[in-house]
Amino acid sequence: MWKKKENELPTPEPDHRPEPPAPRPAPRRAERAIIGPTLKISGEISGEEELIVQGQVDGKITVKGQGVTVGKSGKVKADIHARNIRVEGQVRGDLFGEQEVIIETSGDVQGNLIAPSVRLENGSRFKGSIDMERAKQPTPPPAAPKPGTTNPMPASPARPGENQKIQSPPPDPGQRNLGS
Amino acid sequence: MVVPRAQTDSLSGGQSHQDGLSHHSLALKHALRRFRALGGYRVLDLGPAIGRNVQFLSSFISKLFIADLYGTICKQAGRGGMDRVKLDQILSRDLPPTSQNPIDLILVWDLLNYLDREQVTTLGRHLAGLCRRDSLVLALLSTLPTIPELPGRYLMLDPETLRYENSSKRERRSPGYKEPDLEKLMPAFEVETSYLLRSGIQEYVLTTRSLV
């Protein structure tokens, strides 16, 4: 009774294995653009991919959400706006970093740096200003003090010479030694 | 005479220009004590850019200007000699514009040792234009007959310790400026306090002269 008929084709058993997952699109590789050492560009460069400058750029560079590296042979006369900016070559212009600006040992920058974090490596050359406050995220206002409590510190301390004078420490006569 | 605690007790006059020495800087401590508590200050550093100093200062300043003045002076002097340097032009170009908010602290380091009297006056005039009342100036003057050929680099190790780095192998004559010289050459400033180090360096904290 259990013998199969000879001509009868076996019925395929239902396959309970899970369907293979549909092929997902390959993860997008970080795009990267390189301006080679023999290239000279005058004008505005803007985009949303990482940029490496090994050549010369005069104008303006704006890269949203990505980094810009000025390589050792790079010479940039431009303001640069990017998430992170790394300088190994020469820049004459202002650097606006959303996160960080790094001037490497071989870097030479004349301009202004505006970023929450700035790093100058030993041996790097820089002349200009570093503005760390303008780039910082605005901090939420402090929570209102609970009734009955006092806030020991003013919400925004006054700078000397503005609203409040800071007492200079009294000179210690024992420590003063002038004109010896 | 107060000789602040130094890590190099063996220093004597002739050995003061050794590279890589750290010293307890009462002048730095004095200057920073006023600023560190509240933060948000503006500092002008006339020396070269030093990453460590930027890192250190970043915790309590809002803006740092780095002028690398001696580097620029040397570049220009290379073409026509130190006497031909047009310091006035360099300062007008390289210092922050006076139209901006005033500077709270100016780090002159040992630059004055490398300027003649006329240049010190010119520098003093420009710096006075950047200051407000109570701004401070930190300057280090040598009391020794000779100084390294080039200005040194001063690294802030902490709020009261400076590390001196110098690459000069040769020495030159020191102008030997003293407090009366400073107040005469830079009439907009007066000495708030000063400290003589065992190494022969006199640290000065100057402040803008009160107009009575």
Confidence of residue B35 (pLDDT cuts 50, 70, 90): confident
Task: Identify the closest residue of chain A to B201 by CA–CA distance.
Answer: A180
Question: Are B54 and A175 an interchain contact pair (Cβ–Cβ within 8 Å)?
Answer: no
Question: Are A175 and B26 an interchain contact pair (Cβ–Cβ within 8 Å)?
Answer: yes
Read off the pLDDT of residues A151-163 as tens digits, 9 standing for 90 and up.
333 333 334 333 3
Task: Identify the closest residue of chain A to B64 by CA–CA distance.
Answer: A130
How close does chain A come to B202, measured CA to CA in Å? 8
Whether the pLDDT of residue A137 is over 50: the answer is no
- Nearest CB neighbour to B49, from listed A125, A166, A178: A125
Higher-pLDDT residue of B85, A28: B85
Question: Are A127 and B72 an interchain contact pair (Cβ–Cβ within 8 Å)?
Answer: yes
How close does chain B come to A128, measured CA to CA in Å? 5
Percentage with pLDDT > 90 across chain B: 57
ipTM of the complex: 0.83
CB-based burial, B35-45: b 16+ in 10 Å, e otherwise: beebeebbbbb
Question: Are A180 and B2 an interchain contact pair (Cβ–Cβ within 8 Å)?
Answer: no
Question: Any idea where the domains of chain B sit in the sequence?
Answer: 13-208
> Torsion angle of alpha carbons B165, B167, B173, B178, nearest 10°?
-20
Question: Are A127 and B33 an interchain contact pair (Cβ–Cβ within 8 Å)?
Answer: no
Count of all residues that appear for chain A in the document: 180
Number of A to B CB contacts under 8 A, please give it.
106
CB-based burial, B144-166: b 16+ in 10 Å, e otherwise: bebbbebbbbbbbbeebebbbeb
Given this model, what pLDDT does residue B45 score?
96
Task: Identify the closest residue of chain A to B3 by CA–CA distance.
Answer: A175
Whether the pLDDT of residue B67 is over 90: the answer is yes
Read off the pLDDT of residues B121-138 as tens digits, 9 standing for 90 and up.
999 999 999 999 889 999
Question: Are B49 and A124 an interchain contact pair (Cβ–Cβ within 8 Å)?
Answer: yes
Strands B103-109 and B41-45: parallel
Whether the pLDDT of residue A75 is over 50: the answer is yes
Whether the pLDDT of residue B179 is over 60: the answer is yes
Whether the pLDDT of residue A40 is over 80: the answer is yes
Contacts of A129 in chain B (CB under 8 A): 63-66, 96
Higher-pLDDT residue of A135, B38: B38
Confidence of residue B81 (pLDDT cuts 50, 70, 90): low
Class of domain B13-208: alpha beta
Contacts of B210 in chain A (CB under 8 A): none
How close does chain B come to A83, measured CA to CA in Å? 20
Backbone angles phi, psi at B18, to 5 degrees: -75, 145
DSSP per-residue string spanning chain A: --PPPTTPPPPPPP--SPPPPPPPPPPPPPPEEEE-TT-EEEEEEEESSEEEE-SEEEEEEEETTSEEEE-TT-EEEEEEEEEEEEESSEEES-EEEEEEEEE-TT-EEEEEEE-SEEEE-TT-EEEEEEESSTTSPPPPPPPPPPTT---SS-SSPPPBTTTBPPPPPPP-TTT-----
Question: Are B202 and A174 an interchain contact pair (Cβ–Cβ within 8 Å)?
Answer: no
Backbone angles phi, psi at A128, to 5 degrees: 150, -155
Tell me how crowded residue B113 is: count the other CB atoms within 10 A of its CB.
23
* CB-based contacts of A87, cutoff 8 Å, min separation 6: A69, A70, A95, A101, A102, A103, A104, A107, A108, A109, A124
- Which residue of A108, A129, A153, A172 is the best one to mutate when testing the B interface, meaning the one whose CB has the most B CBs within 10 A? A129
- Nearest CB neighbour to A180, from listed B65, B94, B143: B143
Given this model, what pLDDT does residue A55 score?
98
Distance CA B159, CA B29 (A): 6
Backbone angles phi, psi at B106, to 5 degrees: -115, 125
Contacts of B191 in chain A (CB under 8 A): 178
